[in-house]
Structure 1
Amino acid sequence: MLVKFFYTLLLLIIVVNTNAQLNLPVTLYAHHNQTVFNTGEQIYSKIYARSIKGLHMQPLNIYVDWYTAEGSLLKHQIYLTKFGGAEANFQVPEDYPFAFLRMRMYTAQSLKQLPEFQFSDQVVFVKQQTSSNTKHLPDSIFASTLNSQSDQSISINKVASSFEAKGKNEWIIKNNGKDFLNLSLSITEEESFELPNYTILQHFKDPSLVKQNFKSDYYDAFVQVNGKLKLADLNPSNASLVFSLFKRGQMPIIDQVPLLADGSFSIDRLIFTDSAQLSLQLDYKGKRNQKFELTYQQLGLFQNAPLYAFNFSDSLPVFHSRFKNTGWMNYQKQDENEVVVYAKTKTALELLEDKYATGLFKGGDAVDFNMMLPNVRSFPTLFHFLQGKVPGLQIFFQSATSTQAMDSAVTAGRKEEESGIFGTPKFSWRSSQDQIKFFLNQVPVSVDALLQLPMADIAYIKVFRPPFLGAGMGAPNGAIAVYTKQGDEADYIPKKSKLTGFMVYGYTSPVSFLSPDYSSEKKKAVIDKRKTLLWVPTIHLNHDNPNQGIIYYNNDRSKRHRIIIEGVKQNGELIRKEWIVE
């Protein structure tokens, strides 16, 4: 009894401590891959979240608003943190006329804090003409080979280094301690590197200074929807509410939602990008597809952002370039090779083949069928559909009574076949009577399994002429391969559905940084003027996994590389290390 009480108390302490950490205010900081960007360029960022307890390990919704220099909203973004960090990006408009952008980061909880703690603002510079009043770094910044700062939490060891055009470089990042580390890494050419206006050591606000007016009503993480059914004489014990989340290109999420006595419900822990349709269906015992009125609210700030902002906390910094405005030093995007591609428009069957068939089931001597056409569902089984559609394949249905009649007829010296409409299907290729083989999603099944398959679930059928080599031990008399729908087909929402649907909004989809691979000589023909040689936004290191290797390739001109690593330990300590290698 005492042991049970101890474990109950321990669990209660853990739950209370977790809830206390969830309600703690957090501060935010963003590390960017570069300090100055061109118009039309992607800004790659890593956002960190920290509380007085350390790195904010619980998932949290982070909102990012991008404003012009005049305070006009350009884009509202939403990201979900993982282990205290989130990858983010923003593309500078091609026609952007100002010398800087404003990046505003906040949480739903921070908006209820005192004004000076509501937002984390940063300025991102956009390439501009430099003036004669330029500032140069002292020569001491250029160390002979490696210049490291004093932080010994991490180290970086060289495996291979090359400053030739498109030369390969390989390093290993090592966690020298036992704490969990969340890091981000940028490697840029030193010849055109501009000093950063922000560093994690100087500009990450201390969370202990944050003051808030009151606690939030809920913890804002994941996509959440609260709703309430308006239905007379609602008895939740006799009803079940099922939700379906439909997102094109993804399998639908289907689950049951608990109903409270007043008809209210909550759907949480949803993760999807952009937008999706959330549909609900209420089923009563003995009475399905009950109609109802619904009120709902999507929690969080997935739609809202001020169109104009003027209350930025920091003063506008002045950008001083290290270099004169020369053509060689100007920041340039990587050139894109002009490629002419001739493409053939694929038929519906070719698209189905690409989507469903793999391995030895792809291609081959087969007859294909698109099973998502409107008339398909009028057939009782797929074998009725195939009757008379495949040259050389004979399909007839034989009932038990007809089998007995056939046996007695053979005994009497007569060969008569009497087939039934819903009997057992029999197959033959021309004169051959060998049994063909059956596959469901390329897994061997019996003919009975396919007979029970609803026609509405079938997307694609391939009938392989004999012999078929994709089956175990071979299929000398051919095979029939049936593929079921994956959920992202164009007609996965049936017309006249009883579902009550509405749109909900999801997370911003971050763009991955593409690092070229010049291991092949054919790939080296491209002109490479990249300023950022490598951007790795997420590096997780701990005691069990202390090392991570990185590989990148030089551009066509650089002889010095600047490596910057920023991050946060689980206990909240900040990390910044910077090297110049040549």
Structure 2
Amino acid sequence: MHNKLKTFLLLFFCLSAYNFIKAQDLDNTLQQYKAFDPQEKIFIHYDKSFYNPGETVWFKAYLTSGGLWTTVSKNFYAELLNEKGVLLDKVSAPIVYGGANSYLKIDSNYKSQKVFVRAYTVNSFNSDTAFIYTKALTIIQPTYKPYDKNLAKTVVDFLPEGGSLVEGIEGNVAFKAYDNGEGQPVTISGVVKNSKGGTVAKIETLYDGMGQFLLTPEANETYTAFWSEKNKPEQKTVLPAASKTGIALKLEYAEGKIVYKLNRREDADESLKSLSIVAVKGFNSLYEAKVNFSSKTQIRSSISVDDLSSGVVRVTVFNSEMKPLAERICFVNNGNFELDGDAWLSTVTFDKRGQNRVEVKVNDTTLANLSLSVTDADLDAPESNLQDNIVSRMLLTGELKGKVYNPYYYFYSTSDSVKYHLDLVMLTNGWRKFNWNTIISGNISAPKYIENDYLGFKGNIIAPKGFAGNGLQLTGMMQTTDSARDIIVIPVDRDGNINTSGMVFFDSARLYLNFNDKNKAFEPSMLNLNNGLMQTTDNSGISNGIKKIPFNVDPDYVIRNSKVNKDAYNVAKQIYKDGSTLENVTVVGKTKTNLQKLDERYASGMFSGGFGKQFDLVNDPFAAGSLNVFQYLQGKVAGLQITTNGMDASLSWRGGTPTLYLNEMMVDQQSVSSLSMADIAYIKTFAPGEAGVIGGGGGGVIAIYTKKGGDGVVSSDSRIKVVKINGYTALKEFYSPDYLNPDGKELYEDLRKTILWVPNLFLNKQNSFRSRIIFYNNDITKRFRVVLEGINVYGKLIHVEKVIEK
């Protein structure tokens, strides 16, 4: 049906005097706009609902674009801000399978009752910054005071359907009453009067502060709403003025279709007698039609959406000059957004430090990216079970401006009343608007901010003109804080610029660098380098987020949290005080040899282990008597032929030439020859083909390690220079004790509020869609709160939340 409609419209447009966007072109144009502004949506799953000073905020972020998990952005950023917008903490993380996880730290001396999390990608700043993710978190203080609603003022917004009222045409006016503090709904009632005092409509809240009424505005007339809350004085609000000309749009969502009705005045000008109607979902065109309105003042038609993915659909009416006249959003819920799955405790005990088993299962053949939290339900409770979660955020609240109260309510049931209430939300909330003029003209400029492909090395060599030349490279090794080592080659263009990407490492890395040209000496001061991450913080969207108020916590939870947090603080102090005692526990075992100690200290990865022939130069009194490494090794390794002539040497091992490594970085023979023997701590040789060696070691391998601190002073005459560069925020492991394998902390009281946090849980057909995780209770929990969130590649969503008790 959709293809037939497009064929009809294409023929119609070709005959039209005005060249409107052709059906086959609109999708392409929208996709171009998506490249300019991917309109990513972010949802964050936190380990719990509120926090105490000094605690860690563990989180997992999910990102979508166009209804699927994002493949546009590679780098995720999150900030912790106080009420004045001052940055308290900032983290970065790679986006993998539409998700990113990290943590934020709340200072133990933080005094406010709220703190704000702002999250974004580089592409967030190419879009409307009002949609940048901002979340207000509640902080439990010893003197915690609930938010006083009496300090807030009630606001009522009146919003004509389609965008405006038209004189002489009956139109629908929606309204929303809410307090300007928390944004909670307010129940009101009243009437609408004209300037003469006559009542023309009644106002009555239908659900969560929302309602609607019909109004036919007269020419040169003004209308005022007189409304009041229960037992409060009457207030008044002037309604938006009606236009003298225009189109009245009314939308209804029935099963499988969106019905639209258009009305115009009899005396409408020519530009309103030929209309275009476009329906768009995300970046996809659903419907395009041309309407001949010359002989009619009313028209009714429908858009088929029975097989559409669930979400917000936008319907826009254009005049003959392609200027938007009216616009309305509608929510289509075909129930096809759910990722079928569950989380439950297959083994449950509330005994102190008792062992439990949680199981997670999804019934889908595609990869699912999930996160799971288990908390003490008596120390952690949501504002409401209907609050924003991954489902409501990705389908509803991430599309709208303004607060939607208890948004999960609109997905919790499929009753007719819920559908009607959801349409009130569509009528009373702003939405993300395309720039139709840009889309129609096709003049889509390049985005202001450009995303990097994960981490990279970006910068330039500060050197005289002509220094770089053709083929210049920085070569060497990158060593990360987890001791992983990688050989790197960084091309340098003729202007001395460096630009690489596609790397993932955390905390920081040391780059051991040299030029591939032996006639050019590298110095770290020559290199101006950054890691490709967003270096400065754009303040856009902060003011909008700071207005948000965290929810009021039940007094019982406040009391319990304050007490447990105080006790936990005392336990932490005791652990810190006794730390040295714990570390002094002696384990009797076999004494390690000097060679074993050196191997553990220096070798890593495929270089480590007991294989290969090892040489301890730290404790070898004859090492200093050798001219260089090659002279030292002469006659010491079976099959290795070394002929020296001063600093030069000829190497052969079973017909091949050995590969040389310095600190596990491949180097040339000259680099090794110039090393001072006083700088060398350890040498390992691997015979040709020896198992475990990088590349198989076809000609054998000689690995040389220079001294570290404590093993002697390393000279500074090596050609290899070190540059440090930062990566993503350092990884931090959530502490979940294993009481079957004591680590010393079992001697202290266990008062964890978050008992289990699993941010990266990937399930698909290869692992039978199921995961089983063992965790141990603390010393106080008698009820578990389990929350599972997640998404698959096609944008299907899962939210499971349950409290498990005896």
Aligned-residue offset at 1:29? 1.9
Indicate conservation of the 8 Å contact 1:271/1:506, yes or no.
yes
Q: Which residue of 2 aligns with 1:75?
A: 89
Q: For 1:463-483, what per-residue CA distance to the aligned partner results, in whole angstroms no more than 9, with x for missing partners?
A: xxxxxxxxxxxxxxxxxxx99
- Take 1:307 and 1:493, find their aligned partners in 2: how far apart are those partners? 46
* Cα distance in structure 1, aligned partners of 2:593 and 2:541: 50
Give the distance between the partners of 1:573 and 1:100, measured in 2 at CA. Answer: 32
2:452 alignment partner in structure 1: 220
Displacement of 1:525 after TM fit? 4.9
Q: Which amino acid aligns with 1:127?
A: I
Match status 1:534 vs 2:756:
yes
Q: Which residue of 2 aligns with 1:100?
A: 114
The Cα shift of 1:184 comes to: 0.6
Change (3 A) 1:217 1:492: farther
Tell me if 1:268 matches 2:490. Answer: no
CA-based RMSD = 5.3
Contact kept, 8 Å, 2:468 with 2:492, in 1: the verdict is: no
| Distance in 2, Cα, partners of 1:516 & 1:102 | 30
Return the match for 1:548 from 765, 771, 776. Answer: 771
Residues 1:22 and 1:256: Cα distance change in structure 2 (over 3 Å): farther
Whether contact under 8 Å (1:379, 1:385) holds in the other structure is no
Deviation at 1:123?
1.6
Q: Partners in 2 of 1:324 and 1:461 — Cα distance? A: 61
Which residue number in structure 2 is paired with residue 180 of structure 1?
367
Partner of 2:80: 66
Q: Which moved more, 1:533-542 or 1:555-564?
A: 555-564
| Alignment-mate amino acid for residue 220 of structure 1 | N
* Aligned equivalent of 2:733, options 492, 500, 512: 512
Change in CA separation of 1:384 and 1:504 when aligned onto 2, cut-off 3 Å: closer
The equivalent of 1:342 in structure 2 is: 584
- Aligned-partner residue type, residue 161 of structure 1: V
Change (3 A) 1:260 1:192: closer
The letter of the residue matching 2:754 is T
> Which of 225, 232, 242 is 2:475 aligned to?
242
Q: Please say which of residues 307-316 and 525-534 is displaced more in the overlay.
A: 307-316
Aligned to 2:422: none
Change (3 A) 1:540 1:260: same
Larger Rg: 2
Show the counterpart of 2:548: 315
Give the number of equivalent residue pairs: 485
Say whether 1:576 aligns with 2:799: yes
Residue identity over aligned pairs, in percent, reads 23
Cα distance, 1:48 vs structure 2: 1.2
Flag structure 1 segments of 5+ consecutive residues without an equivalent: 1-16, 136-149, 388-392, 401-421, 425-439, 442-451, 463-481
> Do the aligned partners of 1:371 and 1:460 also contact (CA within 8 Å) in 2?
no
Native 8 Å contact 1:246 1:278 kept in 2 = yes
Choose from 598, 601, 607 the match for 1:355: 601
Offset from partner CA, 1:304-359 (integer Å, 9 cap, x none): 23699851335223422252654587443383454514389x99999636425887
Amino acid at match of 1:562: R
CA distance in 2, matches of 1:254, 1:19: 40
Q: Report the counterpart of residue 379 of structure 1 in structure 2.
A: 627
State how far apart, in whole Å, the 1-side matches of 2:556 and 2:602 are.
55
- The alignment's TM-score, normalised by the length of structure 1, stands at 0.67
Please give the alpha-carbon distance, in whole angstroms, between the structure 2 residues aligned to 1:199 and 1:399.
68
Query: 1:565 maps to which residue?
Result: 788
Contact map agreement 2:380 2:557 (CA 8 A) in 1: no
Does the CA contact (< 8 Å) of 2:338 and 2:797 recur in 1? no
1:220 and 1:300 in contact (8 A); partners too: yes
Work out the CA distance in 1 between the residues paired with 2:755 and 2:346: 17
The CA deviation at 1:517 is 1.5
Q: Deviations over 1:37-85 (max 9, x none)?
A: 2221111111111111411246611111211123211122211111111
Amino acid at match of 1:255: I
1:202 is displaced (CA, Å) by: 3.4
Are 2:404 and 1:202 aligned? no
Q: Provide, for residues 130-156 of structure 1, a one-character-per-residue CA deviation record: whole Å limited to 9, x for no partner.
A: 558999xxxxxxxxxxxxxx9661123
User: What is the 5 A alignment of 1:11-22?
Assistant: none
In the alignment, the residues of structure 1 paired with residue 495 and residue 602 of structure 2 have an alpha-carbon distance, to the nearest angstrom, of 45
Alpha-carbon distance in 2 for matches of 1:73, 1:328: 26
> What do the CA deviations read for 1:160-203 (whole angstroms, capped 9, x no partner)?
22122222111321111223211111111222222156522334
1:103-502 alignment runs, 5 A limit:
103-117=117-131, 119-128=132-141, 129-130=143-144, 153-196=340-383, 198-204=388-394, 205-206=397-398, 209=432, 214-216=446-448, 218-229=450-461, 231-233=464-466, 236-237=469-470, 239-242=472-475, 244-245=477-478, 247=480, 250-278=483-511, 281-284=514-517, 287-289=519-521, 296=528, 298=530, 300-305=532-537, 310-313=542-545, 315-321=548-554, 323=556, 325-326=558-559, 330-332=563-565, 333=568, 335-336=571-572, 337=575, 338-339=578-579, 340=581, 341-342=583-584, 352=598, 354-355=600-601, 369-370=617-618, 376=624, 379-381=627-629, 384=632, 456=675, 459-460=681-682, 484-485=703-704, 489=708, 495-496=716-717
Tell me which residue corresponds to 1:390: none
Given residue 126 of structure 1, which amino acid in structure 2 is its aligned partner? I
Partner of 1:31: 45
